[in-house]
Copies of this chain bind each other. A is one copy, B any other.
């Protein structure tokens, strides 16, 4: 699958999450032959669930699979993956992680690369604008989702000031 098409699937999930009042991060897991194995979005707000980030939600929705199903697969995600989602991709031996943007949050990209995962950042303005809007509107919900306490965000610094 073309990477921009894969990211569009993830972005569609993120937009749906935003419309639901949730944290707008989405993901799509696509097999090496182009089949979509799963779609998912952050469900912290909707389900009150702290482990359902975009990527983990996507893996949950893909269901139980043999390890061979993940070989060669690509995880598309609108935002640089946090430590938990980084680890989830490593656990299942996902081969590629394609990221919408890493300007509002920089996750485990270096660790993924170190462990042999191909990482591509597409620098999507749509992904970034959606996160910027959300962080500006609900900074406390965002802080909760990334496990930080008193981080303050400004228009100029959406990675935040601790």
Contacts and interface: CB of A to CB of B under 8 A. Distances in A.
Contacts of A48: 63-64
Interface of A: 44, 48-51, 56, 59-60, 62-68, 70, 82-88, 90-93, 108, 143-144, 146-149
A51 B83 CA distance: 14
Contact of A147 (B82, B92, B144, B147): B92
Contact of A85 (B64, B65, B85, B87): B87
A68 B149 CA distance: 7
Contact of A86 (B65, B87, B147, B148): B87
Given A88-B84, A91-B147, A60 B67 contact: no
Contacts of A86: 83, 87
Contacts of A88: 51, 83-84, 87
Contacts of A62: 50
A66 B84 CA distance: 17
Given A83-B88, A87-B82, A91-B83, A60 B51 contact: yes
Contacts of A63: 48-50
